[in-house]
Amino acid sequence: MNIGGIDLDTFLTAMLATGLLRAVPLVLAALGEAVAERAGLLNLGIEGMMLNGCFFGFYAAYRTDSMVVGMVAGILAALVLGLVFGVLTITLRVDQVLVGIAITIFSLGFTGYLFRDLLGGRNVSADVHPLRISIPGLREIPIIGKALFDQQAIFYLSWALVPVFAFLLKRTRFGLNVRAVGENPFAADAAGVDVVRVRYLAIVIGGIMAGFAGAYLAVADLRIFTEGMTVGSGFIALAITMLGRWNPYRIVIGAVLFGMLRALGDGLQVIGVDIRTEFIGMMPYIGIMLALVVLAGRTALPSALGVPYVRGHR
Amino acid sequence: MAAGREPLSPPTRTVDVMRWQFGQTRSQAAERGEGAYPLPADAAHPSSVAASGAPIVEMRGITKRFGPVVANNHVDLTLREGEIHAVLGENGAGKTTLMNILSGMYQPDAGTILIRGRETKIATPADALRQGIGTVYQHFTLVPNLTVIENVALGAEPGFLLDLAAAERRLAQLLTDFELNASPHTEIRHLSLGQRQRVEIIKVLSRGSRVLLLDEPTSVLTPVEVEGLFAILRRLRANGVAVVLITHKLEEVLDVSDRVTILRQGRKIGEIGPEVISSGDRAAIRQRIVEMMFGGAPAEAPSASARASGAANGSTLLALQDVTALGDRGEVAVRGLSLELRAGEVFGIAGVDGNGQKELGEVIAGQRHVTRGRVILDGQDITNKGVAACSRLGIGYVTDDRLGEGCVPGMSVAENTVLKMVTRSPFSKGFWLNRGAIEAEARRLIGQFDVKTPSTATPITALSGGNIQKLLLARELAMNPRLLVCNKPTNGLDLKTAQFVLRTLREQADAGKAVLLISSELDELMQVSDRIGVIYNGQIVGIFERAAADLEAIGHLMLGGRERERGVA
Amino acid sequence: MSGRERLRHAAVPFAVSLLAVFLACLVGGLFLELRGKDALHAYQVLIERGLGNPGQRTETLKQMAPLLIISGGLAIALRAGVWNIGIDGQFFVGALLCGIVVPELAGDVPRAIVILIGAIAGLVGGLLWAVVPGILRVRWGLNEIITTLMMNYVALNVTSWLVKGPVRDPERVAPETKQIPLSDRLPDIPGTSVHIGLLAGLLVVVLVGVLFRSTVLGYMFTALGRNRRAAIHAGLPVGRLTLLALLLSGAFAGLAGANDVMGVQGRFSGNWHPEYGFTAFALVYLARLNPFAIIPFAFFFSFLMVGGQSMPRRADVPTYYIGMLEGLMLIFFAATVALERLWSRATRRAPEDAPLAIGAASAAAPVSAESDAGDGAVSAPQNTALSAGETR
């Protein structure tokens, strides 16, 4: 079947593939943020951490031609910011929103600076050769075949993390502690849980995942770096986390929908449908707000979100 | 409620003990090839279990200060296995502090704690748990969005993976024995308060606690749930657990305790042992306890000018009709309460904290929602009209939560003075603040009430608590209310200032206002009120005219006694 | 309080901010050295090029205008405890509206009126853009952080779409609105080449200062921001105040947009993306939410931005260094403010030790069905930036 000169199959495949690809960084970042928020930490620095992951991941990959090195570098770079966030908000008990915004502002400048300084601002591309996994047979399935079964290894790894996080939150001691600490830190403390340690671990995970997301974006997906390339993806991930009520599977749905909506814009243009890109561009954001309104009653944030914990006070 | 009690016989069968504590019979455990739940070292030894009455925790000479206040003053307390020990006292007696020391929240400034004869330090709540002391706090330490099993497992399960199924199996017996009537996979927020309390107890027992501390456990329970709780406590006792019941309710003490320690103003006044309690003469015991808690001459002779002038015969200004309101935890705080306040009188509300008096004051001032009943001010129905409306209609409210609710930290003294009046002239003219008028008013009030502050521009947080209290009172009076509700207005004030406040309230009443004075200080109430109402469990259980009031009678009602029992031998 | 005490009381918060600035510059400088640049030279260039010659000074002053206006608005929001992160979006919508309306009137209407209408257009645009998050917050208790953030991106797309299509100047290829003729743009302050936007900015800040200090509304905003519970307890109209604070800050952001369109750009361009939002945040916090302190800090940030543009050529330091510095300043600010709080707690006489006092923030879910009854600390900056010695 033909639409505007393009085979429908190809079109849908492209849409799905792009959508899933676009969704990966969102999912990764949102998973980390879910853990952090469940533990009571609202991390607005997620955008900055992701950007850090983008740049350092890209730079390392560019210099070593190795994707793995790139990913690790990106993760570490974001992790450092995560620790800064942790120290300021957990130990020094400064307001989380302030610290998060500060980190994001810093990262925007920092990565922009290094981009100019180290790469001369040129849009070079990293010459990485990522491992691809292609499943014969499955990849022949029309429409979804190529999108799902002919991707880089890291693509599969990323999706595999979703059940890992679900398991982490539901079935491990750490996950239980996290869920308790974000809701009633006093209870957790009284039960013998080290609230401070749990929170630090939570933000470390948040940082790692944000870094992973950024590195994925720059190294595995786009293979270049531009200033501010996250374009609010970190914040979108934050919104998706809240919408998904910190449940990894619901987060996936949100992220995929968002990714596909984003891809839709490009796709429609390609087949010549005359809708402004911007119009489609707005949709995801409006969608999120609508979803927030609809789910308002049922979206109960962890009660201790944003509140520093002091023993002896309730 | 029957006064019958099971005899204190030691559990002889280790099997029973283990079954109770750890949720399975030995044979069952052997069948499944599972070991018993982690238990503290001694529990397996029959000797320590069988010897009921052996002291398990001894507190000697415990002293704890908070600033100038001595919350515990050389208190001795001995807890014995297989005994339900009530710690009785009214406000400020120090019972909660004592409990917090035992549960690891606070460290005593002086004194020693011995557990099974060995001197120990209880450093943190986790430490207390490890040493076998489990606490059920007044404000539940459960996580609402987690299930029963998850809450019990919190902080207890070792290892990386969470094996809830195993935990559930282990706790199965405990769960049925406690008649939770809910699946262990229910989230806590879907359980009733009574059920939540049982989960708390289960949680604590599952860690192998041999000492169970309960802080005012019946305050949120229905009468049926109270009975259920007592049944559980009796079973625990039969199994050698030392149960400590922190309470102010006399009847509870008589119904279920073996031993009572009475605290008053930080000191241990007396102890009544099982020999006396099991003698069965409730009235006499009751009399004795009330005497210990409320008897004796008042500390200071009140100044004559503040004494109540006698029965006021003003018209009814405020009427509460069968008012019901919920507290912050969703429990019923004010329970079908009816009351009439007359102009020109000071009506004192006596009661132990947590019986609904705070909520009562908030209801009158429009700060708290009423779920049933009506509030009528001078013939006008003002039920649920909100704070601003009530304020405009002439109801003033002095809160006891000075810093949390009463003032805005960071604003100056002058600015805080007009917090409730800022939209009225002369403090504002339309859009504009009239700082001159605000200053003037602030200075006037500071002078009139002798608020010690370097200037009107000082940030309010620099003032001492007592001075802030005076300012809050001054602020309300400046609005010339018809009815003034005061919640613990002399809290934290030195004697001279407290007397000043009381005198002021008296003057207001003499000038025709109605004053509702909620206080934990009986002496104050006796001094200044025309009538005293006793609140217990959300209801007014007795009203005394000034002339007819006596401390012991009031105290008796405060502890939940019933009026007809008074004086009956 | 004696004069000297009052001075000391006021000086401490600014010492904290200055310390943060200093530390940031220090650490930034160290970083530059590590990268092989001459840090001192870089700072020298910065100062020279920002302040050194009259032309640059003019630029700096011109740059102050939008910063002042936006910061003034943001100060209102933060003061009332409302997190308006959407100022960039509100800026754009205000700018666009101005860019649409003004060229239509130019030439037919006296200049003064044109400018006035342009300003109103900016105000209205910004205000409209804050309405949705405002209502969502007050009616449904939706946290404004997320909603204002999302509105930013919607604004980006909406304005982009509009300026590429319906409102594009038909005579040009580039996506932009019609040019405002020079004669109708903001005039310069007589004797200078700085347009009157600067005066407008100063006026805005002064007005905000007056608002805080001398009006009932400002008083209520302050009370609300510092202790929401006390505000509810005192019967203040908390919902309406929250909404108003958000709307006002949005309106001012829009006005800043109009300022830039009428004073500098001459039109709204689809390729124009100044991001004052983050700078304004850093600015307002460093100024401890004090409108009068905003003025010197705006000047400071302004000259950083202007001087920073020369840094690549003259000191081999990318302009992004400025953004990095701003972020560092805010991070150090967070740290120093925490230390200030500890110090103040140690030196202040504690009235009484209430053993089980309930902490100031007893959080209920910010996103909840109850519109404004119990909000958590997330939705109110009852935070260290406002505590301990903030001046008016």
Residue A314 and residue B139: Cβ atoms within 8 Å?
A: yes
Across chain C, which has 392 residues, the per-10-residue mean pLDDT values are: 66 87 93 87 82 80 92 96 93 93 82 89 96 89 86 88 81 78 77 84 95 93 92 91 96 95 85 86 92 93 87 84 93 91 68 28 24 26 29 26
pLDDT band, very low/low/confident/very high, at B90 (cuts 50, 70, 90): confident
Q: Is residue A180 part of a domain?
A: yes
Q: Contacts of residue A101 in chain C, CB cutoff 8 Å? A: 85, 278, 281, 330
Residue C281 and residue A105: Cβ atoms within 8 Å?
A: yes
Average pLDDT over residues B58-86: 90
Size of interface A-B (CB pairs under 8 A): 73
**Which of B399, B405, B431 has the CB atom closest to C215's CB atom?**
B431
Q: Is residue A313 part of a domain?
A: no
Q: Is B367 on the interface with C (CB under 8 A)?
A: yes
* Rg, Å, chain B Cα set: 26
Q: Is residue A103 part of a domain?
A: yes
Is residue A34 scored above 90 in pLDDT? yes
Residue C166: asked if its preceding bond is cis (omega within 30°), the reply is no
Q: Contacts of residue B162 in chain A, CB cutoff 8 Å? A: 171-173, 175-176
Task: Tell me how far apart the alpha carbons of residues C270 and C99 are, in angstroms, rounded to a whole number.
Answer: 11
Q: Is B158 on the interface with C (CB under 8 A)?
A: no
Residue C334 and residue A242: Cβ atoms within 8 Å?
A: no
Domain boundaries, chain B: 14-293, 344-368+384-394+481-569, 398-480
* Rg, Å, chain C Cα set: 22
Q: What is the pLDDT of residue B50?
A: 34
Identical fold, B14-293 and B344-368+384-394+481-569: yes
Q: State the nearest Cα–Cα gap between C382 and chain B, in angstroms.
A: 10
CA distances from B171 to B45, B121, B154, B168, B189 (A): 22, 30, 14, 5, 20
CATH number, position A159: 1.10.3470
Mutate to test the interface with B, among A164, A172, A176 (most CBs of B within 10 A): A176
Average pLDDT over residues B541-555: 85
Chain centre to alpha carbon of residue C183: 29
Q: Is A175 on the interface with B (CB under 8 A)?
A: yes
Specify the DSSP class assigned to residue B412. Answer: B
Q: Is residue C168 part of a domain?
A: yes
Task: Tell me how far apart the alpha carbons of residues A204 and A36 are, in angstroms, rounded to a whole number.
Answer: 8
Is residue B537 scored above 60 in pLDDT? yes
SS3 for B214? strand
SS3 for A231? coil
Predicted confidence (pLDDT) per residue in A114-153, tens digit: 998 888 878 887 777 777 777 777 767 666 666 677 778 8
- Closest by CA to C33, choosing from C20, C43, C45, C23, is C43
Q: Is B363 on the interface with A (CB under 8 A)?
A: no
CATH number, position C134: 1.10.3470
Contact C134, C84 (CB under 8 A): no
Q: Is B139 on the interface with C (CB under 8 A)?
A: no
More confident residue, B367 or A279: B367
Q: Contacts of residue A37 in chain B, CB cutoff 8 Å? A: none
Is residue A307 scored above 50 in pLDDT? yes
Contact B242, B214 (CB under 8 A): no
Task: Tell me how far apart the alpha carbons of residues B495 and B502 are, in angstroms, rounded to a whole number.
Answer: 10
Q: Contacts of residue C220 in chain B, CB cutoff 8 Å? A: 422
Average pLDDT over residues B69-98: 88
Domains held by chain A: number: 1
Is residue B14 scored above 80 in pLDDT? no
Q: What is the pLDDT of residue C345?
A: 75
Is residue B29 scored above 50 in pLDDT? no
Nearest residue of chain A to residue C331 (CA atoms): A102
Q: Is residue C374 part of a domain?
A: no
- Chains sharing 3 or more CB pairs under 8 A with chain B: A, C
Q: Domain limits at C252?
A: 3-344
Q: State the nearest Cα–Cα gap between B129 and chain A, in angstroms.
A: 8
Domains held by chain C: number: 1
Q: Is residue C390 part of a domain?
A: no
Buried b (16+ CB within 10 A) or exposed e, C316-354: bbbbbbbbbbbbbbbbbbbbbbbebbeeeeeeeeebbeb
Average pLDDT over residues B294-321: 60
Q: Domain limits at A122?
A: 2-298
Q: State the nearest Cα–Cα gap between A187 and chain B, in angstroms.
A: 4
Residue C376 and residue A296: Cβ atoms within 8 Å?
A: no
Spelled out in words, what is the top-level CATH class assigned to the domain B344-368+384-394+481-569?
alpha beta
Task: State the average pLDDT for chain B.
Answer: 80
Q: What percentage of chain A has pLDDT greater than the value 70? A: 84
Is residue B3 scored above 50 in pLDDT? no
Burial class (CB in 10 A: 0-12, 13-18, 19+), C7: exposed
Residue B146 and residue A183: Cβ atoms within 8 Å?
A: yes
Residue C355 and residue B106: Cβ atoms within 8 Å?
A: yes
Q: Is residue A311 part of a domain?
A: no
Q: Is C367 on the interface with A (CB under 8 A)?
A: yes
Residue B67 and residue C353: Cβ atoms within 8 Å?
A: yes
Task: Tell me how far apart the alpha carbons of residues C146 and A266 are, in angstroms, rounded to a whole number.
Answer: 26
- Chains sharing 3 or more CB pairs under 8 A with chain A: B, C
Q: What is the pLDDT of residue A226?
A: 84
Q: Contacts of residue C354 in chain B, CB cutoff 8 Å? A: 66
Q: Contacts of residue B197 in chain A, CB cutoff 8 Å? A: none
Spelled out in words, what is the top-level CATH class assigned to the domain B14-293?
alpha beta
Q: Is residue A308 part of a domain?
A: no
Nearest residue of chain C to residue A106 (CA atoms): C327
Predicted confidence (pLDDT) per residue in B177-224, tens digit: 777 778 888 888 888 888 888 888 888 888 888 999 998 888 777 778
Specify the DSSP class assigned to residue C260. Answer: H
Average pLDDT over residues B338-354: 90
Q: Is B139 on the interface with A (CB under 8 A)?
A: yes
Q: What is the pLDDT of residue B51?
A: 37
Q: What is the pLDDT of residue C348?
A: 59
pLDDT band, very low/low/confident/very high, at B105 (cuts 50, 70, 90): confident
pLDDT band, very low/low/confident/very high, at B289 (cuts 50, 70, 90): confident
